[in-house]
Amino acid sequence: MVAAREQPKGAKLADILIAGAGITGLWQTLTLARAGHRVRLVERSAEPFADAASRLAGAMLAPYCESESAEPLIAELGLQALPLWRALYPETRQQGSLILAAPRDLPELARFARMTSHFERLDGAGVAALEPAFAGRYGQALFYPSEAHVEPGRAMPALLRLAQEAGARVEFGARWDEAEPGSYDHVIDCRGIAASPDLPELRGVRGEMLVVETDEIALRRPVRLLHPRFPLYVVPWAENRFMIGATVIESGDRGPATVRSALDLLGLAYTLHPAFGEARILRFAADVRPSFPDNMPRITLRGRRILVNGLYRHGFLLAPSLAALVAHYIKDGTTRQDVFLEDYCER
């Protein structure tokens, strides 16, 4: 069990309100409560995580793979987050990431290798040794052994319990603006896309995902199938379930998933392995990730209000590191210019 209060000698404790119980708000709550602060977490949805975009995440802790399309800061913060995940959540599975490509798409595999680092090149025998389900199907692959993943539906309730054990007070079905923010030393806004009225640059990036169930294939780690138009990832969950995702659509529409995306996801899953053709579809859903124009996270300071937002598709990867940065700021005013923004204009 996590100790309820960790109070460094001489540390000044604060009364803190946190708005939003997605993965960002959970890590902020847990980190600050463990530091000894008096923390209250409020979430507008009555059911835990019902309105959080992070409930649909692939939750791949893959800093090196993300370097293929992200700035170096993402890998840096992600590498800092990995040990935080392992220390607080024992179910973090550090089995690495496997990157595959169909024979016609091998140039994509070469491009991915040029853009990333800390991988091992595998031949067909190496692929089969790592994931027997792919024996004889892929002759080349990239393996990133230090990467990890978690299952959102298990990790988020676990973080919530840890935060409560650390002394945080949690209220669901409560709006943050009803919580008298003037009585707190700090208000940390982690509402994601719901904070867009206060962050005009924030935009929505839509993602769609499937959860399927089959006992005809077993995987130990996330697998990415590269494709020039529509790269796919499959993340193994408990009880023979797999999360299948890929879509990054420039849209703030939080409506149901589309037929086009279903066709793309199912077709590429079948291409990855025909066993997915017999899988049972358990869930098909969509939501919107909060993103700034550069797809980089931002901690915006407005007096006592701190807005943590713009995690794009890196919520699980970055949330622990951003929580640590906020904790340092509250402790001694420390900031870093590539993450923090001082905003004197109240909106």
Q: What is the structure's pLDDT at 4? A: 39
Q: CA nearest 315: which of 159, 177, 96, 181?
A: 159
Provide the CATH topology of domain 97-145+203-291: D-Amino Acid Oxidase; Chain A, domain 2 (3.30.9)
Please list, in sequence order, all residues whose beta carbon lies within 8 angstroms of the beta carbon of residue 277, skipping any fewer than 6 positions away. Answer: 270
Same fold, 15-56+151-196+295-342 and 97-145+203-291: no
Q: What is the structure's pLDDT at 252? A: 65
Rounded to whole angstroms, how far apart are CA atoms 26 and 7? 20
pTM over 0.85: yes
Q: Which helix (H) or strand (E) holds 140?
A: strand 140-144
Per-residue pLDDT reduced to its tens digit, 251-303: 666 777 788 888 889 999 999 999 999 999 999 988 889 999 999 999 999 99
Helical pair 23-34 and 152-165, crossing angle rounded to 10 deg: 30
Segments in the chain below pLDDT 50: 1-10, 179, 346-347
The number of residues making up the chain comes to: 347
Q: CA nearest 102: which of 266, 262, 228?
A: 228
Q: What is the structure's pLDDT at 258? A: 83
The structural architecture, per CATH, of the domain 15-56+151-196+295-342 is: 3-Layer(aba) Sandwich (3.40)
Six token digits for residue 157:
């309730």
The residue extents of the domains of the chain are 15-56+151-196+295-342, 97-145+203-291
